[in-house]
Amino acid sequence: MSNPTILITGTSSGLGQKTALHFAEQGWNVAATMRTPERDTMLRGHDRIAVIPLDVTDVDSVRAGVAAAIERFGRIDVVVNNAGVGAYGPLELAEEATIDWQFAVNVRGPINVIRAMLPHFRANRAGTFVNVSSYMGLTSAVPTGSLYNMSKFALEGLTEGLSYELRPFGIRLRLIESGGFKGNSFLDNMVFSRAGDGGDYAAVITNVERRFAEVDETRLDDAQTIVDAIHAAATREDARFRTVIGADGNALMAMRNSMPIEDYLDTIAAQFGL
Ligand SMILES: NC(=O)c1ccc[n+]([C@@H]2O[C@H](COP(=O)([O-])OP(=O)(O)OC[C@H]3O[C@@H](n4cnc5c(N)ncnc54)[C@H](OP(=O)(O)O)[C@@H]3O)[C@@H](O)[C@H]2O)c1
């Protein structure tokens, strides 16, 4: 059998880039898709990787990117919906465009990619979608994170809901609920709405920003731990649907599951002086 092929979105940095390199090193063909391939210096030139333009928010770009990947490799076995952005800050202070952007990349993006891929997976009677969510897709953990929460909760619902109708075609769905990892570029790319000093929200903004600034990198998992979880989700034969990965996420979910929601919300709020 020829080598399997994986298509990954958002491979210009962070987890997507590391996942692309990992699968190529494991002998897979990799369709490494990104919005701005001209900026790539890490993936091009690798003999198992094809760098392909694909903006997940643009349906035409998604269709063209998927078609180019199928044309290049003949068959795609796994798709990793990795591209994602973070819009933080009080909801009231967010620009309309920021709200739309959060939804467009993290929710509409995977919808666009899944819809473009389905004819191919259906024809093959096989295929796996690995959707990169977050523990913020299962529970809230940070005040002013409502938009990001919304996007990952939506991805969770999309993935669960789709699992029924795609079952007859042998198409699998998997979720990765990761937390932060060492060398994180996500916080650098996040948009934090504050509208000046934040007005009535200034105190909570200060608390949240302090929490982000004080993240102790040494406590975080290596990115490879998350990449390994993606690999396991992409290849495992058993039915495991969700993987909560990382010390932070597992501790938080243990707390979330140990108490009534009202107590949990009080506990998180108190951590931020609310
Ligand atoms: N790092 C964390 O703390 C953490 C925790 C839990 C979950 N996650 C999730 O992990 C995934 C990867 O994040 P990361 O940590 O690796 O952050 P990252 O380095 O900021 O990577 C995000 C990627 O998404 C791409 N992207 C943004 N808009 C796009 C679009 N319209 N079309 C295609 N690609 C687009 C970015 O490409 P450009 O260079 O073109 O912007 C970038 O390659 C995300 O889904 C994130 O929500 C991250």
Tell me: pLDDT of 226 over 90. yes
Average pLDDT of 217-245? 95
Average pLDDT of 70-80? 98
**Residues 147, 107 contacting (CB under 8 angstroms):** no
Q: Convert the pLDDT of each residue in 39-60 to its tens digit.
A: 999 999 999 999 999 999 999 9
Tell me: pLDDT of 1 over 70. no
Q: Which residues contact 38 (CB under 8 A, 6 or more apart)?
A: none
What is the overall mean pLDDT for the chain? Answer: 96
Segment among 126-130, 160-164, 165-169, 180-184 with least mean pLDDT: 180-184
Q: The domain 5-271 belongs to what CATH superfamily?
A: NAD(P)-binding Rossmann-like Domain (3.40.50.720)
Tell which wins on pLDDT, 33 or 187. Answer: 33
pLDDT of 111 reads 99
Interval between CA 268 and ligand 1 midpoint (Å): 25
Tell me: pLDDT of 185 over 80. no
Q: Is 57 near ligand 1, meaning CB less than 6 Å away?
A: yes
Tell me: pLDDT of 186 over 90. no
Q: Which residues contact 164 (CB under 8 A, 6 or more apart)?
A: none
Report the nearest-CA residue for atom 36 of ligand 1: 10
**Where along the chain do its domains lie?**
5-271
Sign of CA dihedral 57, 91, 192, 245: negative
Pocket test residue of 39, 186, 253 for ligand 1, highest count of atoms within 8 A of CB: 186
Q: Is 188 near ligand 1, meaning CB less than 6 Å away?
A: no
